[in-house]
Amino acid sequence: MLLNLTILPGDGIGPEVTEQAVLVLQAVADAFGHRLQLQHKNIGGAALAAVNDPLPADTIQACVASSAVLLGAVGSPAFDHNPGHLRPEAGLLRLRRELGAYANLRPAICFPALEDCSPLRVDLVRGTDIMIVRELLGGLYFGEPRSIQGAPRSRVATNTMTYDEPAIERITRIAFDLAVKRRNRVLSVDKANVLECSRLWREVVIRCAKDYPGVQLSHMYVDSAAMSLVQRPKDFDVILTENMFGDILSDQAGGVVGSLGLLASASIGGPVGLYEPVHGSAPDIAGKGIANPLGAILSAALLLRHSFRLAREAVYIESAVGAVLNQGSRTSDLVPAGQHSVSTSEMGRRVAEAVRISTSEK
Ligand code: NAD
């Protein structure tokens, strides 16, 4: 199969971790006789520095013409004081919208080898395997009107949370379709005691659930869900929620399973899927060669599974990550300060090698 990808390394540690993800993709492509066709383009701060636009036209063109997009991260302190539309993050928000990627899947899995990386007790976190399904194109992050207006010292800021029924229905169906392939449970998270958006959300979710009689649906307010996520994370299967609640809960889930550097994401629903680690550009460690590339590598596995239906290849990558962790390889975010760790590139090399070894035995 031809794997026609656009690679958007982005800013900070983005280029460091995407390089490793591509290395691992190449290893699995070689083993299964697929051909990688890659185009690298700028986004975020890198694009602002080059052409003063966080999402240049040639980047969009390359993305829509490819079968999937692999992104590193965006964000750079150099542009922190730019107006909103000229910040690196604006490029990513626009890209998600251009690609029509309305469903953000964020798995949070506790790898057996990393049970002791969680701030929670091992008996609480062991066996955690959560799929967070976050609506990505609606809610507060995109709602209009939005503004800061008024005279100095009495300014008023406005954001708008808005959801329509089709937007809720399409994300609900993605969550239920995933639950059918997992443990048949969906928890819908909202704030229906306070927000009209959430009341509509709950109504539509209940209506759609009737088409999935084998899936058990439950509801929780977001504040209560946040508490339960640290009290009993392994009770969760699929969490379905809107944009901002999903943003917050998925980072929390990352904290629960150990490190943000381990978390992968897929943004799907449109014609071209976008795959990226959950973490940001981590300016504090950029350029040091110590970033954890596993979130990016696991994002590449999601890319194979969701954009190319190559589930077997995806499992080889996920198993290789598990094997490398079992052998004791750790980047610095996964060990206490001062303990031995491997570099970003060494971790990538080891995962690619583990893919080569396991696929040669297939
Ligand atoms: P961050 O995720 O970049 O970093 C948070 C902390 O986690 C830092 O201490 C960092 O060193 C650590 N960390 C993150 N990824 C890691 C990895 N792979 N390996 C080891 N440690 C890792 O979040 P932040 O500091 O809040 O944001 C930094 C910049 O990234 C900001 O400009 C922000 O807007 C941007 N951001 C971008 C995305 C994205 O591209 N999707 C997501 C979140 C934040």
The 10s digit of each residue's pLDDT in 130-166 is 999 999 999 999 999 999 999 999 999 999 999 999 9
Q: Using CA atoms, how far apart are residues 131 and 125, in angstroms rounded to an integer?
A: 15
Indicate whether residue 285 lines ligand 1 (CB < 6 A): yes
Site of tokens 């899936």: 215
Residue 287 covered by a domain? yes
Catalytic positions, please? 141, 191, 223, 247, 251
Task: Work out how many domains the chain is built from and give that number.
Answer: 2
Indicate whether residue 306 lines ligand 1 (CB < 6 A): no
Q: Are residues 12 and 51 in the same domain?
A: yes
Of the chain, the percentage scoring pLDDT greater than 90 comes to: 93
> What counts of helices (H) and strands (E) characterise the chain?
12, 12
Could you list the residue range(s) of the whole structural domain that residue 205 is in? 119-257
Indicate whether residue 280 lines ligand 1 (CB < 6 A): yes
Nearest CA to 264 out of 254, 273, 255 is that of 254
Q: Are residues 95 and 171 in the same domain?
A: no
- Structural tokens at position 31: 């083993």
Span from the CA of 13 to the centroid of ligand 1 (angstroms): 9
pLDDT at 362 over 90: no
Q: Are residues 92 and 128 in the same domain?
A: no
Q: Are residues 168 and 229 in the same domain?
A: yes
**pLDDT, tens digit (0-9, with 9 covering 90-100), for 282-295:** 999 999 999 999 99
Span from the CA of 218 to the centroid of ligand 1 (angstroms): 32
Note the pLDDT of residue 258: 78
**For residue 96, what are the contacts with CB-CB under 8 A and spacing of at least 6?**
136, 137, 267, 274
CATH of the domain at 47: 3.40.718.10
Residue 267 covered by a domain? yes
Indicate whether residue 75 lines ligand 1 (CB < 6 A): yes
Atom of ligand 1 nearest to the CA of 17: 18
pLDDT at 28 over 90: yes
Average pLDDT over residues 56-65: 98
Distance of CA 80 to the CA centre of its chain: 23
CB 225 within 8 A of CB 256: no
Q: CA 116 → CA 112, 174, 320, 335, distances in Å?
A: 9, 32, 20, 10
Residue 276: pLDDT band by 50, 70, 90 thresholds?
A: very high
Q: Please give the model's pTM, rounded to 2 decimal places.
A: 0.93
Burial class (CB in 10 A: 0-12, 13-18, 19+), 19: middle
Note the pLDDT of residue 73: 98
Q: Are residues 312 and 223 in the same domain?
A: no
Average pLDDT, whole number, for the chain?
96
Q: Are residues 188 and 246 in the same domain?
A: yes
